[in-house]
Amino acid sequence: MSRFLGGLAPGRRILLVAATPLEGQAIARGLSVGLDLAPDPPRSWGPYALTDQIDLVISGPGKVNAAAITALAVKPERHAAVISVGIAGSLPGSGLAVGDVVAANACVYADEGVQTADGFEDLAAMGFPMGPWDGDGSRGGSTLPVAELLLGWMALLTPKLVRIATVSTCSGTDAGAEEVVRRTGAQAEAMEGAAVAHVAALLGVPGGELRAISNTTGERSRQVWNIKAALAALERTISRI
């Protein structure tokens, strides 16, 4: 693994971006690093140098927090790649179970666009692409592909490579979850990944996403949740670094 990190960019580091202190603590434990992060919204964002090759920053939840803190933390001369790391919900038809760990082969904005009587149009379809990556030849205009070399590294951590949707509003109804799948072709949803990859792309650094499944989506009363199991799975996966 160290040789692969070196091949990714000799002498540089990987920046991990976690939304919450709970996720950050799981990452630190996975790397056998003692790190005391308060459970409340952090006052000090980092980044923390966890090892000689891994930095961590806590962004706060949601796209705006993730984008702003990533932009402040990423140093192209220091970082070979940026990865959004945390928990996610599984989408209908994905076959993903709570405790599974997935890496994004594409990070997809699920709800940047306009809802019309004829259906949803993303920004690319409206003529306002979010960046040069818009329109990847498959589903979803606002899709950020993950660089092949970074994807190869994450495939060493988990064999489950999927499309991950980034949402502003999580899917708490069956219709809402199914709509995210129709729009994006994603198997999981979270709230930060595409924003982190977006900022990384603007700065010329490969971006990606690594998630442990903490819950199902769809009708809220029928959702299955186990954040503790997801964090334990995330910790085990990070330990492979």
Element (H, E) at 28: helix 21-30
Q: What pLDDT does residue 177 have?
A: 97
Over 60: is that where the pLDDT of 82 sits?
Answer: yes
28-79: pLDDT as tens digits: 999 999 888 876 656 667 789 999 999 999 999 999 999 999 999 999 999 9
Mean pLDDT of the chain: 90
Over 50: is that where the pLDDT of 139 sits?
Answer: no
User: pLDDT higher for 92 or 41?
Assistant: 92
- Residues paired with 38 in a beta bridge: none
CA distances from 66 to 72, 74, 195, 199, 228 (A): 10, 12, 6, 9, 23
Kindly indicate the confidence band of residue 4, based on its pLDDT and cuts at 50, 70 and 90. low
Kindly indicate the confidence band of residue 91, based on its pLDDT and cuts at 50, 70 and 90. very high
Kindly indicate the confidence band of residue 115, based on its pLDDT and cuts at 50, 70 and 90. confident
Over 80: is that where the pLDDT of 222 sits?
Answer: yes
| Torsion-angle region of 58 (φ positive above 0: left; ψ -120 to 50: alpha; else: beta) | beta
Helix (H, G, I), strand (E, B) or coil at 64: helix
152 within 8 A of 161, measured Cβ to Cβ: no
Query: pTM here?
Result: 0.92
Over 70: is that where the pLDDT of 141 sits?
Answer: no
CA–CA distance, 2 with 153 (Å, rounded to integer): 10
The angle, 0 to 180 degrees and rounded to 10, between the axes of the packed helices 63-73 and 193-202 is: 30
For the chain, how big is the Rg over CA atoms in Å?
17
